[in-house]
Copies of this chain bind each other. A is one copy, B any other.
Amino acid sequence: MKIIVGNIENETLEAENLTSHLGEKIKIHGSIYKIRKMSGFAFILLRTKRKVVQCIYSREYSLFELEDLAEESCVTVTAQVIPEERSKTGFELQLLDMEILSKPVQQIPIVINNKRVDTSLENLLNFRPVTLRNERERAIFLLQEGITLGIREFLKQEKFTEIHSPKIVHAGAEGGANIFRFDYFGKEAYLAQSPQFYKQMMVGVYERVFEIAPVFRAEKHDTSRHLNEYTSVDFEMGYIRSFEDIMEMETGMLRHVMEVLESGYEEERKILNAKLPYIKEIPAIKFLEAKELISKKYNRPIADYDDFEPEEEKLLSQLIKKETGSDFVFVTHYPSRKRPFYAMDSEENQEETESFDLLFKGLEITTGGQRIHSYEEQLNKMRSRGMNTDLFESYLMMHKYGMPPHGGLGLGLERFTGRLLDQDNVRLSSLFPRDLNRVTP
């Protein structure tokens, strides 16, 4: 019998800690990211967990042959940490010795160790397991990790409980045809379009809940904005006074996210040239007013009174940016007929809902609103839409047995990341995007 004591020490150091070992002989492991041969010596970039470290090979002190090294080899090196002002880390590593742990079988057919991976989107995604090794590509998802970190920190502080709701469901929350179906032991089941029903139920349990998890949309849109699977940040809160409480909470949350990205993630922001928006406040405009404003300012006839065209979202964001300086804008009071059956209609105007979207630099990244909490009201709305309420028995159970006024939102993590980095395609902020034509890698 062996005894495992939980010893997680390593003889190798972390790149982040090297500055406290200046002048010392150390060991560190990583992948050979790039070899740049000069005369008599070579620059070697070592890719570690989160940082790329500059090393120097020289025949003067290196006890191995440069020819034995290949890019993407995994190695443990013994090196001297030398102060070096010209290096952005403040030091460089003089390579003394090298243990090769593994070698690639062949060279990657795409150059991944330049500033950017210079290839088509198609290639970038086809070769995802290796193009993600590019310093810029991996910075995107470190920043994305920072976003979820900030969200979790904030929501925990605001006493939201994290939940895990099922993705295999018996009814779709968003309705319509955009749902994946499959055979579940002889019954038909679906992939959850959102955790909507479950997060509402859990408001009856913990008052405030959140979940960061995959959702699935069988939308046949092949655009730069749509993914068929994405990571949804959902929160739902009880005892709200109006749906504005949700917008206030989101504004606080986004502000905190920016603070987290601002105080950490400096290197990633630099690599990505990311300019974080400063969120002092976010303007909110009614849907109809926004439609009319865009129509007037840009001299566009209104083609559709029910929804925005993508172009209108862009124009509205431009306008708001110009007038208020804000990259974000809430659009409120969407038409009732375009919102789901659980959306609460406005008291003043039953054609409108107590709902909102959040646009960020021209793209909708959040949909939210107040939900119906009264059993009778919910039944009536479902009936008026010709829905079979029997199918929603377990959903309606919470209304029947008592629910507080409540509401919440869903934020698309990839869209948010993408807008933050001014990317022109949401696929770029998904590690392994799923679209109409892509289920690989």
User: Whose C-beta in chain B lies nearest to the C-beta of A11?
Assistant: B241
Given A130-B401, A161-B49, A431-B202, also A281-B4 (CB < 8 A): yes
Does A133 lie at the interface of the complex (its beta carbon under 8 Å from any beta carbon of B)?
Answer: yes
> Once the chains bind, are A1 and B285 in contact (CB under 8 Å)?
yes
How long is the Cα–Cα vector from A29 to B141 in the complex, in angstroms?
A: 40
> Once the chains bind, are B206 and A138 in contact (CB under 8 Å)?
yes
How long is the Cα–Cα vector from A14 to B157 in the complex, in angstroms?
A: 12
Q: Which of A213-221, A298-306, A380-388, A419-427 contacts B (4 or more CB under 8 A)?
A: A213-221
How long is the Cα–Cα vector from A439 to B284 in the complex, in angstroms?
A: 39
How long is the Cα–Cα vector from A251 to B220 in the complex, in angstroms?
A: 46
User: Whose C-beta in chain B lies nearest to the C-beta of A220?
Assistant: B185
Does A225 lie at the interface of the complex (its beta carbon under 8 Å from any beta carbon of B)?
Answer: no
> Once the chains bind, are A281 and B161 in contact (CB under 8 Å)?
no
Q: Which of A86-94, A269-277, A341-349, A369-377 contacts B (4 or more CB under 8 A)?
A: A369-377
Q: Which of A116-124, A163-171, A307-315 contacts B (4 or more CB under 8 A)?
A: A163-171
> Once the chains bind, are A248 and B4 in contact (CB under 8 Å)?
yes
Q: Which B residues lie within 8 Å of A432 (CB)?
A: 165-166, 198
How long is the Cα–Cα vector from A132 to B229 in the complex, in angstroms?
A: 29
Does A207 lie at the interface of the complex (its beta carbon under 8 Å from any beta carbon of B)?
Answer: yes
> Once the chains bind, are B401 and A106 in contact (CB under 8 Å)?
yes
> Once the chains bind, are B180 and A184 in contact (CB under 8 Å)?
yes
> Once the chains bind, are B129 and A282 in contact (CB under 8 Å)?
no
> Once the chains bind, are A167 and B214 in contact (CB under 8 Å)?
yes
> Once the chains bind, are B431 and A198 in contact (CB under 8 Å)?
yes
> Once the chains bind, are B405 and A105 in contact (CB under 8 Å)?
no
Q: Which B residues lie within 8 Å of A440 (CB)?
A: 170, 394
Given A133-B205, A163-B141, also A187-B281 (CB < 8 A): no
Does A159 lie at the interface of the complex (its beta carbon under 8 Å from any beta carbon of B)?
Answer: yes
The contact string, 1 if C-beta is below 8 Å from chain B, for chain A 27-58, is: 00111000000000000000011100000000
Does A228 lie at the interface of the complex (its beta carbon under 8 Å from any beta carbon of B)?
Answer: yes
How long is the Cα–Cα vector from A159 to B373 in the complex, in angstroms?
A: 43
Given A231-B164, A441-B395, also A251-B198 (CB < 8 A): no
Does A104 lie at the interface of the complex (its beta carbon under 8 Å from any beta carbon of B)?
Answer: yes
Output the least CB separation between A434 and chain B (Å). Answer: 5
How long is the Cα–Cα vector from A371 to B2 in the complex, in angstroms?
A: 21
Given A4-B248, A251-B6, also A129-B201 (CB < 8 A): yes
User: Whose C-beta in chain B lies nearest to the C-beta of A252?
Assistant: B6
User: Whose C-beta in chain B lies nearest to the C-beta of A396?
Assistant: B129
Does A73 lie at the interface of the complex (its beta carbon under 8 Å from any beta carbon of B)?
Answer: yes
Given A248-B6, A394-B128, also A168-B283 (CB < 8 A): no
> Once the chains bind, are B105 and A3 in contact (CB under 8 Å)?
no
Does A244 lie at the interface of the complex (its beta carbon under 8 Å from any beta carbon of B)?
Answer: yes
> Once the chains bind, are B4 and A397 in contact (CB under 8 Å)?
no
> Once the chains bind, are A145 and B161 in contact (CB under 8 Å)?
yes
Given A164-B231, A207-B48, A231-B164, also A6-B402 (CB < 8 A): no
Does A239 lie at the interface of the complex (its beta carbon under 8 Å from any beta carbon of B)?
Answer: yes
Given A6-B281, A168-B439, A248-B8, also A398-B129 (CB < 8 A): yes
How long is the Cα–Cα vector from A436 to B49 in the complex, in angstroms?
A: 41
User: Whose C-beta in chain B lies nearest to the C-beta of A106?
Assistant: B400
User: Whose C-beta in chain B lies nearest to the C-beta of A126?
Assistant: B394
The 7 closest A-B pairs by CB, nearest first: A394-B441, A72-B402, A182-B182, A104-B402, A6-B251, A74-B404, A6-B252
A-B contact pairs, 15 of them (CB 8 A): A1-B285, A2-B332, A6-B252, A7-B252, A70-B402, A72-B401, A107-B401, A108-B401, A130-B398, A132-B201, A148-B162, A182-B182, A191-B191, A198-B431, A395-B441
If A31-B404, A164-B214, A164-B431 are given as contacts, then 13 extra A-B residue pairs at C-beta distance below 8 Å, sorted by A number, are: A3-B283, A6-B252, A6-B279, A8-B158, A49-B207, A76-B239, A102-B403, A105-B401, A126-B394, A163-B431, A166-B214, A182-B183, A202-B431
